[in-house]
Amino acid sequence: MPLFADIEQRAQALRQQLHHHAHRYYVLDAPAIPDADYDRLFRELQALEEAHPELRRPDSPTQRVGGKPLDGFAKVRHQVPMLSIRTETDIEATGARNFDTRMRRELRLGEADPPVEYVAELKFDGLAINLRYEHGVLVQAATRGDGEVGEDVTQNIRTVGQIPLRLEGDASLPVPRVLEVRGEVYMRRDDFERMNEQQRAKIDSGAKNEKTFVNPRNAAAGAVRQLDPAIAAQRPLSFFAYGWGEIGGGPDFVTHAQVLQAFKTWGVPVSDRVRVTRGADELVAFHQAVGQDRDQLPFDIDGVVYKVNSLALQRQLGFVTREPRWAVAHKFPAQEQTTTVEAIDVQVGRTGKLTPVAKLAPVFVGGVTVTNATLHNEDEARRKDVRVGDHVIVRRAGDVIPEVVAVVPERRTHDAPPFTMPRQCPVCGSDAVREEGEADYRCTGGLFCAAQRKQALLHFGQRRALDIEGLGEKLVDQLVDAGIIRTLPDLYRLGLGHLAALERMGDKSAQNLLANLEQSKQTTLPRFLFGLGIRHVGEATARDLARHFGSLDPIMAASPDRLLQVPDVGPIVAESLHTFFAQPHNREVVEQLRACGLHWPEGEPAPVASLPLAGKTVVLTGTLPTLSREEAKTMLEAAGAKVAASVSRKTDYLVAGTEAGSKLDKARELGTVILDEVGLKALLLSGN
């Protein structure tokens, strides 16, 4: 019987694995594998036991619901067992139809009989809780435990604001003498992210024994099972009810939906996504609608639940060993799976940001095959301690880039070194720097780096920079993808032959573009500086630099200390400028642009004190008779004024045209001097 011996050994191995993972999931709140992996192991054991009933053991995970209670909590025996429900593993529409077919068969319904009525609900990803109310007052809260015996977590549950301490009924719908409400304690995604941000701040400040949480489900479960209720009270928990245990002395309910509606009336939270449906088609529609909305929900779900609505039919259908016949959980594609890290590469984004990316053994997660997952930045990669060869849990939700959630440390069988971000750009070799207070490293070769080529061209040609009309995103894509342009000076080496070969580029369009390129060679120093795309150098800073230095060469040669003498230039901007011009690649691009004929007026630095409106703040609003907003702004800044976007107590003048709006009201309220276009021109002439 060697074949049977192999099957018996496999069943024993599966039992051991499932016991181990159930202990980590239910008792330690530290799962080592995603739910989808656990479900696969469970289904394999279930199939073996169905094919060979003699392999069933009393301690098999298929014969029980969950894990043992923690020794640190008092034990609670459930008056009505907290059973789990069957999982429909067919994630397509046929999964809903399979359930409806099975119900009709169990109820002996023919084709002529009306459709079965169901309650369709969300399958929350949290911790199951039984709330016991006596005479409307919460007296006990217990976890599921092994389905028969759970853990008394009353003190912790009392800290959950959504769970009422007293139920409110009336004469038409009195609260039962005894009512056990069953539902899910969970954590909203936004609450989870805020909590993890706080944890990261503690870790960064040097706090010991602090950690971030893997996912909202783990965070919620860990909070409920804190031995110190004060700690549980700090965790932002929520609750939804979906069922009940013991009910004594209450109204006579006919349907499942009636009970849930009564819960809402008594003050118990119930999801507003509960629907009463009829037949398979409406189950399918519910599953598809929730699937489309899944990523926009404020909390995690991993499927939906269908229940026969009639309580009489529920009693008729009854139970099998560990689950009711009248309910099923219909899963969505798993959003977390386990795979291995084959390599860690560093990608360079359009703006120069360096991002470590885990190259994965292909894994199907969230409905697609994933081979790459972001590690965000060096700090995050080190915090999670992701290394080549590791088994990791990968998460994908909707269109969000897949990410590595956590490492499975117990499966690490090697000693690969921790990840370290390279200090040179892997694309162009320029220095990669991390500014103070920032999490990301960035390539400093913005004008030379191939990864930033398209972004650099689009920024350089925009209206507020060199203003190259016709140089749009589609054209830039074609020029770069065809290898015609590799760096900014290549723009000015274009000819009709290059452009004529491009898709949808006619002679007229090509000639117009070449004319616009020629026209852009005559520019200003502020526009040119802004067009270089130096990090933190916007239009205002470019003007301040040009005004302070008068010409480009002193700016390129300036030390950080010298740059700090420019008004409104702080340490971050000064360091960014110095680092940019310290890169030989960037200096070479600037010189080549000059050689291509780009030029601008230069002169001696303008003493700030000599400018007529130096130190004055002006706000523009409405439409002026003859000046555009941009023209007025240029004139004011040339006179030394700072042009602000909103009115405040620091505003010296408001220049108002027609349809001025709320800024004019604010200026009147603050007593700000208000000018029209004539007044603006007079101010520019007088300087005060």
* Domain covering 337-411 assigned CATH 2.40.50.140 in the classification: yes
Assigned architecture for domain 608-686: 3-Layer(aba) Sandwich (3.40)
Query: Of all helices (H) and strands (E), which one includes residue 21?
Result: helix 2-22
- Separation of alpha carbons 658 and 134, rounded Å: 69
CB count in 10 Å sphere of residue 101:
12
Average pLDDT over residues 513-530: 95
Average pLDDT over residues 531-539: 90
C-alpha dihedral (259, 265, 267, 270), degrees to nearest 10: 50
Mean pLDDT score of the chain, rounded to an integer?
A: 88
Q: What percent of the chain has pLDDT over 70?
A: 95
Angle between helices 571-582 and 584-595 (to 10 degrees): 70
Residue 438: is its pLDDT beyond 90? Answer: no
**The two structure tokens encoding residue 614:** 């130096």
| pLDDT tens-digit map of 537-549 | 988 899 889 989 9
Average pLDDT over residues 155-174: 87
For domain 86-331, the CATH class is alpha beta
Q: Catalytic residue among 123, 331, 353, 616, which?
A: 123
| pLDDT tens-digit map of 53-100 | 888 876 677 765 544 555 678 999 999 999 889 988 788 889 999 999
Burial class of 437 by CB neighbour count within 10 A (0 to 12, 13 to 18, 19+) = exposed
> Taking phi first (over 0 means left), then psi (-120 to 50 degrees means alpha), and beta for anything else, what does residue 376 get?
left
123 is catalytic: yes
| pLDDT tens-digit map of 659-683 | 888 889 889 989 999 999 899 888 8
- What is the biggest distance separating any 2 CA atoms in the chain, rounded to whole angstroms? 107
Q: Judge contact between 151 and 70, C-beta under 8 A.
A: yes
- For 153-157, 197-201, 266-270, which range has the lowest pLDDT when averaged over its residues? 197-201
Q: What is the CATH number of domain 439-606?
A: 1.10.150.20
Looking at CATH, the fold of the domain delimited by 2-63 is given as Helix Hairpins (1.10.287)
- Separation of alpha carbons 218 and 413, rounded Å: 26
Please, which residues have CB within 8 angstroms of residue 669's CB and are 6 or more apart in sequence? none
Please tell me the predicted confidence (pLDDT) of residue 285: 96
Domain-wise residue ranges, the chain: 2-63, 86-331, 337-411, 439-606, 608-686
Residue 2: is its pLDDT beyond 70? Answer: no
| pLDDT tens-digit map of 640-662 | 788 888 888 889 999 999 888 88
Cross-strand partners of 241: 183
**The two structure tokens encoding residue 281:** 């088609």
Q: Judge contact between 453 and 480, C-beta under 8 A.
A: yes
Instruction: Kindly report each contact of residues 544-551 with a partner whose C-beta sits within 8 Å and lies 24 or more positions away, as own/partner.
Output: 544/568, 544/569, 545/569, 545/577, 547/605, 547/606, 547/608, 547/611, 547/640, 548/605, 548/606, 548/608, 549/605, 550/602, 550/603, 550/604, 550/605, 550/606, 551/525, 551/602, 551/603
